A and B are shown apart, each in its own frame.
Chain A
């Protein structure tokens, strides 16, 4: 499949600090990629390099096999965290303007925008001024602006901030649909539960460096602590407490830690043999949130 984006030793310094320090990672094509990191980690600096707003001091950025250059903005769609629109412009006018700046012809822009307006059921907004729209409505327009030119690479910086649950789901669905159609998506956030739901790959940036990367499941496995949990009814056999390291026991739910996860099936077997009625039995994988906090704390 190849990568849509390859970053090699990217470095960016501003006058008083290093914003991006030797960051390398690849983003596979046609996936939703989570760019994670606490505030001030260098996410926005990195995104600004990818969107050609600024340039890296050193290192290379390869977009779809080509060195990043000034014609690339037309294949990138970027929705910044801090976003706004020209308040006095009419919605239709505004959408066409931004689409044309991405290189679409007027006719193309019109038909593509119409498609999106129909999709969101907001065709009657065409002549409304942006300032007449509510914040959530403006976000929809913003989303259309970002995707109207059918970018190969879509970069969404905290796309759900300020959205109600209804619109969040709407945009989430659109993101998934775009991915199905072949768009590669970078999803930058510090809200981990969203990442777990949406992203397949992640990279974790902290203090300008990437500290962690890979597929979401792999990462979670990488950080697992061999914790298992089962729910049961009946009496708990003694061998559990005697032979294994139990973390917690409360009303029918036990969490314990294993030295070697090979034993987990054995324990299940022993439990069943002991006549315990097992309601559920599973390995506890750390949430990205936990990994995130652990990694960030470790480094600082």
Chain B
């Protein structure tokens, strides 16, 4: 026990004291913040090129009646949508084409007259030597379609205001039936999904990052040839377990630091730059659908919903899954590390069988966040190879108690079983040199005697 503790301490301290650990731990939250900022900027970025189009509209489709019966053309001489200009020259198409370069138009739009008002398809011709980019193309089509709509409204003799009144925005506001039922707002599932997705993602990263760390370290000890000295003092099992626990401690430390740092940095960022992540994201995601005031209200509601989560349950259960999932996978990584030869690239094929369930679990997790009670989600959150990633994703949706309990019991039992089995592989692997090892061989090692 004493020796195990010594090993854990060394594995933990040498990593935590490393400069690279300190830098990664401190810089990552900053990098995440920076990343979010950049993403926000990119999404809110609207092209800075402005386009000028000549419009030939002989039947006056784009001429609309304003309030005072004044007629004006859409976009005539004025900017629409910040960067599209329409001009209605009185020249013919062929003349326009001849002088195209001189006039500095980007293109010529020709609207044929509409024969049948009930038509659903209407072709407008666009003349240019240059391709329109997707965004401008889309905006143009939207603009023109709106113009034609107004034209049709007028021709059909309908009232635009009446038509506006036909549109109703519907919100489903959830209300509980029994007293037990949660008073969920419409944001509940969105917030639960983002919390779930976030936790699932963290688990996914943790399994890979710290699992790989264990694997590399086992491999280094082997290629370094310190391992034989070590196991003449301690049991291979102690060495492996000490390493797994030590690296796991590093992982928890890093998580804890991030759990404290990220909110602080976000807050500091907000104060310093007036940057507000929730609004920025909402605004970036749905720029046209929501006015800033709505976004503000929604962000507040989301925050409220976030606060209302049962964190006292979610956090400890998440930690249990973190520890269980980490134990399970890192023991597999340790076994593979022990079988690796000096040729890292060649040996890396051995990690594939471990990678597959992790990646599968990740994709199931993404589905589970959208429909947390589907049978796939329920199965995957109980099956021990997937549960460390899928169950945390379901936690915020309040899964039935028995499922969580069963999942935890199964996970811990499997983790212990895996540690036991992989220790047998590890024991053989670390003393096996100069041999390329297949998976089949790894399986055989389980049954080798000491």
Please list the residues of chain A having a beta carbon within 8 angstroms of any beta carbon in chain B: 15, 48, 51-55, 57, 70, 73-74, 76, 78-80, 82-89, 97-98, 100-103, 142, 145
CB-nearest residue of chain A to B226: A84
| Interface pair A82/B228, CB less than 8 Å apart | yes
Measured CB to CB, the closest approach of chain A to B231, in angstroms, equals: 5
Question: Which of chain B's residues has its CB closest to A55's CB?
Answer: B450
Interface residues of B in 336-360 (CB under 8 A from A): none
Number of B interface residues in the complex (CB < 8 A): 25
- Tell me the residues in window 119-135 of chain B with beta carbons closer than 8 Å to chain A beta carbons: none
Cα A52 to Cα B6 in complex, Å, equals 20
Q: Of the 9-residue stretches B27-35, B200-208, B232-240, B279-287, which lies at the interface with chain A? A: B232-240
In the assembly, what is the distance between CA of A197 and CA of B330, in Å? 49
Given contacts A52-B232, A86-B224, 11 further A-B contacts (CB under 8 A): A15-B444, A51-B232, A73-B233, A74-B233, A78-B232, A80-B225, A83-B225, A83-B228, A86-B226, A97-B10, A98-B229
CB–CB A57/B10 < 8 A:
no
Contacts of A84 in B (CB 8 A): 224-226, 229
Q: Which chain A residues border B273 with CB–CB below 8 Å?
A: none
Q: Give every chain A residue within 8 A of B226 (Cβ-Cβ).
A: 83-86
Q: Are B224 and A89 in contact (CB under 8 A)?
A: no
Q: Chain B 1-26, CB within 8 Å of chain A: the 1/0 string?
A: 01100110010001000100000000
CB of A101 within 8 A of CB of B444, answer no
B224 CB contacts on chain A under 8 angstroms: 84-87
| A57-B221 Cα distance, complex, nearest whole Å | 27
Are the CB atoms of B228 and A101 closer together than 8 Å? no
Asked if B431 CB lies within 8 Å of chain A CBs, one says yes
Is the pair B14, A88 in contact by a Cβ cutoff of 8 Å?
yes
Q: Which of B391-450 touch A at CB < 8 Å?
A: 431, 433, 444, 448-450
The answer to whether A101 and B230 touch across the interface, beta carbons within 8 angstroms, is yes
| Residue ID in chain A nearest B15 by CB atoms | A88
Q: Which residue among A82, A83, A103 has the maximum number of chain B CB atoms within 10 Å of its CB?
A: A82
The 8 closest A-B pairs by CB, nearest first: A84-B225, A84-B224, A78-B232, A101-B233, A80-B228, A82-B225, A51-B232, A84-B226
Q: A70-B235, A85-B224, A87-B224 are in contact. Are A145 and B448 (CB under 8 A)?
A: no
Task: List, in ascending order, chain B residues with CB within 8 A of A89's CB.
Answer: 14
- Contacts known (A57-B449, A83-B225); A101 close to B431, Cβ less than 8 A: no
Q: How near does chain A come to B168, taking the closest CB pair, in angstroms? A: 67
Quick one: closest A residue to B233, CB to CB?
A101
In whole angstroms, what is the CA distance A73 to B232 when docked? 6
Q: In whole angstroms, how far apart are the Cα atoms of A145 and B3 in the complex? A: 16
- How long is the Cα–Cα vector from A102 to B234 in the complex, in angstroms? 8
Give the contacting residue for A100; candidates B6, B14, B231; CB below 8 A: B6
Q: Given the known A-B contacts A55-B450, A84-B224, are A97 and B6 also in contact in the complex, defined by CB atoms under 8 Å?
A: yes
Query: Which residues of A lie under 8 Å from residue B18 when comparing CB positions?
Result: 88
The dominant DSSP class at the A interface is: loop
A104–B228 Cα distance when bound, in Å, is 19
A193 to B7, CA, bound (A): 40
Q: Which residue of A lies closest to B450 (CB)?
A: A55
Inter-chain contacts of B431 with A (CB < 8 A): 48, 53
**Is the beta-carbon distance between A53 and B229 smaller than 8 angstroms?**
no
Q: Do A53 and B228 touch (CB < 8 A)?
A: yes
- A101-B6 in contact given A53-B231, A73-B233, A80-B232 (Cβ < 8 Å): yes
Query: Inside 8 A of B14's CB, which chain A residues have their CB?
Result: 86, 88-89
Enumerate chain A residues within 8 angstroms of B2, measured Cβ to Cβ: 103
Residues on B with C-beta less than 8 A from A55 are: 449-450
User: Please, how many angstroms separate the alpha-carbon atoms of A80 and B229 in the complex?
Assistant: 7
Minimum CB distance partner of A48 in chain B: B431
In the assembled complex, 10 residue pairs joining A and B whose CB atoms fall closer than 8 Å, in A order, are: A51-B232, A53-B231, A53-B232, A54-B450, A82-B225, A82-B228, A82-B433, A83-B226, A86-B14, A101-B7
B222 to chain A, nearest CB (A): 10
Contacts of A15 in B (CB 8 A): 444, 448
Q: Please, how many angstroms separate the alpha-carbon atoms of A241 and B432 in the complex?
A: 59
Q: Output the least CB separation between A248 and chain B (Å).
A: 45
Q: Which residues of chain B in 236-269 are interfacial with respect to chain A, using CB atoms and an 8 Å cutoff? A: none
The answer for the CA separation of A53 and B3 in the assembled complex, in Å, is: 16
Closest Cβ neighbor of B235 among chain A residues: A70
Chain B residues within 8 Å of A53, by CB: 228, 231-232, 431
CB-CB nearest in chain A for B433? A82
A88 to B10, CA, bound (A): 12
Neighbour of B233 across the interface among A82, A83, A86, A102, CB < 8 A: A102
Which residue on A lies nearest to B447, using beta carbons?
A: A15
Q: Chain B residues near A85: list those with CB within 8 A.
A: 224, 226, 229
Cα–Cα distance between A79 and B232 once the two chains are bound (Å): 9
In whole Å, how far is B92's beta carbon from the nearest beta carbon of chain A?
80
> How far is it, in angstroms, between the C-alpha of A70 and the C-alpha of B237 when the chains are bound?
13
Q: Report whether A78 and B229 are in contact in the complex, using a CB–CB cutoff of 8 Å.
A: yes
Chain A residues closer than 8 Å to B230, beta-carbon distance:
101
Which A residues lie within 8 Å of B228 (CB)? Answer: 53, 78, 80, 82-83
Query: Cα distance A142–B225 when bound, in Å?
Result: 12
- The docked-state distance in angstroms from the alpha carbon of A87 to that of B18 is 13
- Taken together as a complex, chains A and B put the C-alpha atoms of A188 and B310 apart, in Å, by 65
Instruction: Chain A residues near B229: list those with CB within 8 A.
Output: 78-80, 83-85, 98, 142, 145
User: CB-CB < 8 A to A87: which residues of B?
Assistant: 224
Closest to B238 in A: A101
Q: How far is the CA of A83 from the CA of B229 in the complex (A)?
A: 7
Q: How far is the CB of B303 from chain A (nearest CB, A)?
A: 44
Q: Which residues of B contact A73 (CB under 8 A)?
A: 232-234
